[in-house]
Amino acid sequence: MTGYDVHEVRKDFPLLSKGLIYFDNAATSLTPRKVVDAMVNYLLECRANVGRGSYPLARIATEMYEDVREKAAKFIGAKPKEVAFVKNTTEAINLVSAGIKWRKEDNVVITALEHHSNMLPWLRSSKLHGFELRTVKPNRDGLLMVEDLEKAVDNNTRVISVAHVSNVLGTITPLKDIAEVACSHGALLFVDAAQSAPHMPIDLRSFKCDFLAFSAHKMCGPPGVGVLYINEGVEVEPLNVGGGTVSDASLSGYRLVGRPAVFEAGTPPISDVIGLGAAIDYLTSIGLENIARHEVELARKIRKSISALPFIKVLGPEDPQTGIISFSVEGVKAEDVALAMGNLNICVRAGFHCAIPLVRDILGEGLGVVRASLYLYNTAEEVDVFLEALENVVRTLKGVS
Ligand SMILES: Cc1ncc(COP(=O)(O)O)c(C=O)c1O
């Protein structure tokens, strides 16, 4: 039992009525009608800029926008002023990695499980500022062992930045233990929650974290907006300055406003923020715990069945921790599998999943991997169709009957 009626939930997603099996939710999710309705309502009925005008319509738009900040803060157990709206998780990580006043003796610790978005910004800053970037490898199951991470951390570690959930292996990072390591060395902790916030409850009151980011488009919201949590006690320079970020300006200088406005220069993506608010309401009404349980149930079914199929190698732990399952087919390019599945109306993603170091260099999957990633609206029936199709596709591609 998942705690909600998945067939009722499916009615909220118009795209699902088209006979499509959408198993590419780690890339982006589908949109429920309520999210679009909320955005349309803002665009047609409440269209004004936010944080600027004093006329009633502008005040209403600002209230709607700030209400979403409160919702987003509550969603992760933070304070509203600790929540800034950014473009996406990628921009959030760039903002922080560019906004810290680095010292040469600093080092940053990431893991080899990271998405390029939680790797390249640190790599670039390390080259620009001359600090060391250290990378911790996961064990054979793709699990990050805290004792391995601890070995890489010392008292010059300025930031530890980890994905809460791996976008390739679906493994969950032990955040509480990592937070303790960070605390004991005086390091800041950045949590890339792109693959967790949409799928499981997060409560920042239960562990010490300095930064956390996620994207609306992976959680039933629109593309174009993400959330960056910055612990109120941590210093970070804004990435952009301009309209909305100053309390005074002259031709020779300016005085910045406080948080969170200081991180939101220029007109923000207001309709997207409104959509994010509706997405948070939507997911909360179903329950993140229920969603997590549902996805793991389906992932277990997939894992168990495809492990028994010839030519297939499933990556990650035997017992899936989330709704992400990646696999390779012996001697076959992952892209060919995804293309063949796509022709059967089944959407899965193939390749290196923006994690080339992990997939190619650590897992040794030079032909890429196929990823099935599930969400609240996927069903056991869809899994059955997927399994049968996959078996046929693999037989065809391997030339066996
Ligand atoms: C773990 C992880 N981090 C970061 C990102 C980047 O997210 P976005 O493209 O929304 O910035 C992704 C996207 O797939 C991801 O899976």
Separation of alpha carbons 230 and 106, rounded Å = 20
Separation of alpha carbons 112 and 124, rounded Å = 16
Mutate to test the pocket of ligand 1, among 85, 90, 96 (most ligand atoms within 8 A of CB): 90
Q: Classify the phi-psi angles of 274: left when phi > 0, otherwise alpha if psi is within -120 to 50, otherwise beta.
A: alpha
Separation of alpha carbons 86 and 43, rounded Å = 20
pLDDT for position 401: 74
Closest protein CA for atom 7 of ligand 1: 89
Separation of alpha carbons 381 and 73, rounded Å = 36
Enumerate residues lining ligand 1, CB below 6 A. Answer: 26, 88-90, 115, 117-118, 163, 167, 192, 194-195, 215
What residue ranges of the chain have pLDDT lower than 70? Answer: 1-2
CA-to-CA separations, 8 to 32, 78, 239, 379, in angstroms, rounded: 12, 31, 42, 11
pLDDT for position 1: 53
Separation of alpha carbons 279 and 277, rounded Å = 5
Sketch out the chain's domains with CATH numbers: 6-23+288-398 (3.90.1150.10), 34-285 (3.40.640.10)
Separation of alpha carbons 73 and 92, rounded Å = 16
Say which amino acid occupies 271: S
Does a cis peptide bond (omega within 30 degrees of 0) precede residue 317?
A: no
pLDDT for position 52: 86
pLDDT for position 140: 77
